[in-house]
Amino acid sequence: MTEQQKARRAEIARENGAKSKGPVSETGRFISSLNSITTGEHLETLKEELPDCIALLTTDCRQAYIRLYQRHFRQYKPEGGCEQTLLRHMCVELFQLERTISLETHARQRGIDDVIRAYPDLSDADRELFAYEQGLQKDKLWRSLQRDKKAHLAAYAGYQKLFKQTRRDFQLIPPEPVNSDADNNLAEEPLPPPEVVAEAIAHADRAKNEPSYELPRWVAEMILNDELMAEVAPGYNVDDLLEKLTAAPIPRAA
């Protein structure tokens, strides 16, 4: 190839490069879209503080939910945001199924405890049978619990099927980066909302002005929690109430 031919070929390459509009195929476009996060410079834009789907109550064990999610994450290894969303819904439904089972167990145990107190001489088998017979009077409760268990189990299986279909029919090549920091953040207990804090402060102020006023139990527990008060009401003086709370047992009023 002569020098003139080489120069001409280089010129043609430059002209073609100037006309390029980037990758055309879906795979090429997706790979190109990852260029901005390969260095981690823009990774913050992909992070979430909390997941879109949260189904935890204040009485739930948050660590138990996170362990459930982490087990599913290791098992299914979501390869994109859609798969991760379906995985979260799976975990929520399974967690609510376990919560319903726990509620049913607690209700049955409470019935057995009532029988033990009323009939301490009965055998364990008779106690369980007697408690079961008495529990039949709560037919509406048992039917509701059974209905909830079936619904959560069916929803879990449905999301599991959707997860498999999504991976089969809409596979991402290469897999999309998935971040679970938001799910792990659920381990931290949420702070009470401002309206709840304001209500607690109102109860506390009343207790300061009325010595005979008994604080509701939840307010007393909040007042005695130094770390929580430092977060939600750092300027509030609880010294006037501490002596009253420590001198008497925490009231049971709700």
Q: Which pLDDT does position 32 carry in this prediction?
A: 60
Which residue in 89, 84, 66, 92 sits closest to 186, CA to CA? Answer: 66
Task: Locate the domains of the chain by residue range.
Answer: 46-187, 194-247
Q: Which pLDDT does position 238 carry in this prediction?
A: 81
- State yes or no: pLDDT of 21 exceeds 80: no
Q: Which pLDDT does position 37 carry in this prediction?
A: 46
Strongest mean pLDDT among 110-114, 171-175, 187-191: 110-114
Q: What is the DSSP secondary-structure string of 80-126?
A: SHHHHHHHHHHHHHHHHHHHHHHHHHHHHHHHHHHHHHH-TTS-HHH
The Cα diameter of the chain in Å comes to 110
At residue 145 the predicted structure's pLDDT band, cuts being 50, 70 and 90, is very high
pTM given for the model: 0.64
User: What is the rounded distance in angstroms from the CA atom of residue 228 to the CA atom of residue 111?
Assistant: 36
Lowest mean pLDDT among 5-9, 39-43, 61-65, 196-200: 39-43
Cβ burial, residue 189 (10 Å; 0-12/13-18/19+) = exposed
Place of tokens 């990758």: 23
**Span 168-194, average pLDDT:** 81
Place of tokens 């001489």: 121
Q: Which pLDDT does position 35 carry in this prediction?
A: 53
Place of tokens 């209700």: 107
User: What is the rounded distance in angstroms from the CA atom of residue 17 to the CA atom of residue 90?
Assistant: 47
Q: Which pLDDT does position 49 carry in this prediction?
A: 66
At residue 23 the predicted structure's pLDDT band, cuts being 50, 70 and 90, is low
At residue 144 the predicted structure's pLDDT band, cuts being 50, 70 and 90, is very high
DSSP designation for 45? G
